[in-house]
Structure 1
Amino acid sequence: MSGVTKYSGWITAFCFWDDKGSCLHKLPASEQMEAYSDSAPFGDMTIDNFKDHIDLHLMLDGVRYHKVSDDEIPRGWNKVPVAIDDNGENIKAEMVAGSVGISCLMSGIENESSLSSLDTMQPQSGW
């Protein structure tokens, strides 16, 4: 695999717990781990000292954002067991909530194929 395997920044605020409910935010082992600020996120980084910056965490407005590995990104939905009593008949079911689907929309931007094509997807939250 090529590319980044850990993500950091404001997007990780949405990745605070894993699918088992455990906190993904790992505090640094020592205070030697520094945060880089929003004023100069890459500061004095060069190809020679890039490795020194690998473990730095983004800090914006005093909030330190943790890093999340690509295999730790939690799903955007969850389910719970539900017992339904339908006039004495017990039915076992599950309720699902979160980002459970997509809506396909027309952007209104004219393209070569047609104006009325579904060309935009939007996350759909629900339960």
Structure 2
Amino acid sequence: MNYTVLVTGAAYGTQNASTAFLFCESLIKMHHVLNSVFFYFDGVLNANIINKTPTDEFNLIQGWQELYEKHDVKLYVCTTAAERRGVVEDNSIANFKKGNLSPFFRLSGLLELGHAIYISDRIIQF
């Protein structure tokens, strides 16, 4: 089956994003197709490279990056939601020399989410 995962919870403070990550790993282990993960609302905070994880906790941001690197899962971030929450690309705000969007995530719009839903058998929201 083909899946798209929609993450609306922040990286830390709720279980949404960590549960979504574990679900994505399970899909891959069970040989399903994970088309993409779309981060929306507070979920865009998963793409903030500045997040600092304590050494005794699982680094969820790094987990998403490894999912991208090892399994070529597309990680899309809603542009509007990201801007509202201060997650920006390089030079997208005049006073920033470097943005805080992790290079493994791509800014996109709801059109990309619509396309992902169209080509998927299931969409799961966390």
Structure having the higher helix fraction is 2
TM over 0.5: no
Q: Which has the higher contact order (CA 8 A, sep 6+)?
A: 2
Per the normalisation by structure 2, the TM-score is 0.25
Per the normalisation by structure 1, the TM-score is 0.25
Structure having the higher strand fraction is 1
Rg (Cα) greater in structure: 1
